[in-house]
Amino acid sequence: MNPSRLLAAPLILYLIVFFYAPLLYIALVGASIEGFPRSYIEAVSRPEFHVFYIKGAAAATIATLMAIILSVPVAFYAAYYARRIERALIVVAMVSTFWVDVLLRALSLKLLFQAIGVSPGFWPMVVGLAYEVLPIVFIASYLGASQAPRELIDAARTLGAGPLQAFARVALPISAPWIAAGAAASFVYSFADYAVPSLLGGTTGFTVGNLIYTLILEGDRWGVGSAVAVMLTLVSAAGAALLFGRLYRIEVGR
C-alpha cells in the first residue's frame, strides 16, 4: 500500500470513533438493554408511539408538499426568466435563510404566530417545518432546473411547443429526479426534527424527533430510544439509497 494513503488515517479513525462506533453501539444497546428483540418490538408496537410516527409522517409529508409548491415555481422563474442580477438576488435570498440557526427561524415564526393570535399546535408546526426545509427543496429544484438549460426549452419552442408544453415535456421531466431528491431530504429532515416541534408543536404537534428526545433525555428509556433511532436510520438510508441510485443512473446515462 502506498504510504501516502496513511494520511487519510486521521479522517478514517475520527469517523470510526465518533460516527460509526456510536451507531454500532446504539444498534447493540437497542438490542441488548432490554433483551433482543424486545426494544424493537416495543418501538414498533406500542400504541402511544404510533401517534408520533403517524403525526410525524403526516407533518413531514405536508411540509414537504408545501415546500415543493412554494419553491419549485420560484426555482423555475430564477432559472429561466430572471435576468442575471435578479436571479442572483432570488437565489441568495432563498438560500440565505438556510444558514440562519433553525431555532432562530422557528422562534421568529413563533413570534409571528403569537402576534397574529395563532397558538402552537399541529398546523403551526407543519408550517414551521415547511419553513425549515424550503431552502433544501429550493436548492434541489434550482439545480434540477439548471439541468435543463435554456437552449432545450428554446429547441422545444421552435419545434412547436408552447411555453406550458415546453415546461411539462422538457423542463419538468429533466428536473424531476432532483426535485424528488430534495423532497426526500426534506421529508427525512422534518420527520426527525426536534427544534421546530419543540417550539411550535405545543402539546399536539410531535415528530419522531420528539419521541427520541423524550425517551432518551427525559424518560431514560435508552433501549427503546435507540431502537427508534436505528429504525429511523434505516428508513432514511433506504430513502437515500433509492434516490442516489436513481440520480447515479441518470448521470451515467448521459
Instruction: Note whether 10 binds other proteins by CB under 8 A.
Output: yes
Q: Virtual CA dihedral for 39, 45, 50, 53, nearest 10 degrees?
A: 60
C-alpha cell of residue 57: 409522517
Residue among 58 and 102 whose Cβ is closer to other proteins: 102
Q: How far is the CB of 205 from other proteins (least distance, A)?
A: 14
Q: How far is the CB of 70 from other proteins (least distance, A)?
A: 5
List the one residue out of 91, 95, 75 whose CA is nearest residue 178: 75
Q: How far is the CB of 122 from other proteins (least distance, A)?
A: 18
Distance CA 195, CA 44 (A): 24
Q: Which of 43, 59, 94, 179 binds other proteins (CB under 8 A)?
A: 94
Instruction: Note whether 1 binds other proteins by CB under 8 A.
Output: no
Q: By CB under 8 A, what part of segment 217-246 binds other proteins?
A: 217, 222, 225-226, 229-230, 232-233, 236-237, 240
Residue among 122 and 186 whose Cβ is closer to other proteins: 186
Q: By CB under 8 A, what part of segment 139-198 binds other proteins?
A: 149, 151-152, 154-165, 169-170, 173-174, 188-189, 191-195, 198
CB neighbours (10 Å) of residue 106? Answer: 23
Residues 207/188, Cβ–Cβ less than 8 Å: no
* Residue corresponding to grid cell 419553513: 131
Instruction: Note whether 61 binds other proteins by CB under 8 A.
Output: no
Instruction: Note whether 54 binds other proteins by CB under 8 A.
Output: no
Q: By CB under 8 A, what part of segment 72-91 binds other proteins?
A: 73-74, 76-78, 81-84, 88, 90-91
Distances (CA, A) of 177 to 50, 77, 143: 31, 18, 10
**What are the two backbone dihedrals, phi and then psi, of residue 105, each rounded to the nearest 5 degrees?**
-65, -45
Span between the terminal Cα atoms of the chain, in Å: 34
